[in-house]
Structure 1
């Protein structure tokens, strides 16, 4: 199997999941306020399995992208673990429904919240670790885009954390001091775009990270070949 093939499958699965979620968003505009209601609201009700299936596709696609990145030595151990953490968090949100506040809190809703937190924190960490300029490799447009989106995702997370802190200090519910649905969608769009940029990079043939020692050896070998023979 070609090392970039899992990333191509991953992009296909992730794209399909994203398309389904976008369809749910458009079809529910008359029923759900996207500024206040979170994306996970689609998981409630008898048709909630559609949302769960779509998130599961996104999680599976992320795993495929991570496999290609690891096989091609484009991601370190920490970056790979963080990317798998994002996938695991997505699977948790897909399998467990969020709180249905018309009924009350539930164990499923608590697990869903933990999964969402893990996913939203792990993806920016993974992207920054994998595409950071301190990693020695050939840069590409996809890595630059992914790194920029990763930094934007970090800023989203910091902003949300700041709002939670302000809400805690002021005694107000943190989800009341910001348009939660809009903020969550902004974070989700940024993180998914970063994931797709990673996928494009992993699916493109010819990108391979070389260890510094190998590069030095290659350079030394080239220099040796240019040395004229002794007479």
Structure 2
């Protein structure tokens, strides 16, 4: 089996894992006791502090593993080089998700904590690195007519994710002028869930791209993978 033909098994595994992880976390929105958490005001990470927190942790780790499989599919499809800034962005996304599980968010009934601070930083790294890495891939292949559709299908959710991310950053930077804490100024739960949705759509778009690339032979004058 050639290296390119390995792209499809890894892409398929990535799809399966991403859907499984998303389904696990989504179920917590409708099943007790976490169904009582407001999806508009409260963050997803709060699910980790309930007795069903293991479902949240497992779902996020499965999503991280699925994202790694998509990364491998992209590499085997020769859409990215393993040692590149695009690859770094995709890897930091998976690493950030794993860190979010290992270092839970602040338990505000106790107060701020070191692991909560690490959790917040890991979240920022993950949410920012994936769309930036994906956009680097699209920039590299934007002139290839055969990938025009894949470029747009990847760029649109990546840009949407950055738009949601900018809402959080903007609220934080405007704190001195708004008065209340920044997380009360915006519907943080809604914004975070919108951000997470477009991050997942970006991963799925990259997986679809790798799947298609495994079946489309590269022309002789094709550019080298994204750096």
* Equivalent in the alignment of 2:98: 91
Alignment equivalent of 1:26, drawn from 30, 33, 57? 30
Report if the CA contact (8 A) 1:44-1:98 is conserved: no
Residue 204 of structure 2, aligned match among 196, 214, 223: 196
The aligned runs of 1:1-231 (5 Å cut-off) are: 2-4=5-7, 5-28=9-32, 30-76=35-81, 77-132=84-139, 135-137=142-144, 138-204=146-212, 205-207=214-216, 214-215=220-221
2 CA distance for matches of 1:63 and 1:208? Answer: 24
Partner-residue secondary structure (3-state), 1:108: helix
Spell out, residue by residue over 1:139-169, the C-alpha distance to the aligned partner (whole angstroms, 9 max, x if none): 1533321111111112222222112111134
Measure, in 1, the Cα distance between the counterparts of 2:141 and 2:12. 26
The whole-number CA distance in structure 2 between the counterparts of 1:56 and 1:159 is 26
RMSD between aligned residues = 2.0
**8 Å contact 1:66–1:80 — kept in the other structure?**
yes
Structure 1 residue 27, shift from structure 2 partner = 1.4
Contact 1:168 1:174 survives alignment (8 Å): no
Offset of residue 178 of structure 1: 0.4
Larger radius of gyration: 1
**Greater relative contact order (CA < 8 Å, ≥ 6 in sequence):** 2
- Matched residue count: 213
The Cα of 1:133 is off from its aligned counterpart by: 6.6
Kindly indicate whether the alpha-carbon contact (under 8 Å) linking 1:72 and 1:208 is maintained by their aligned counterparts in 2.
Answer: no
Check conservation: 2:131, 2:159, Cα contact below 8 A.
yes
Judge conservation of contact 1:65–1:199 (CA < 8 Å) in 2. Answer: yes
Q: Quote the offset at 1:71 in angstroms.
A: 2.0
Kept in 2, the 8 Å contact 1:10–1:65? The answer is yes
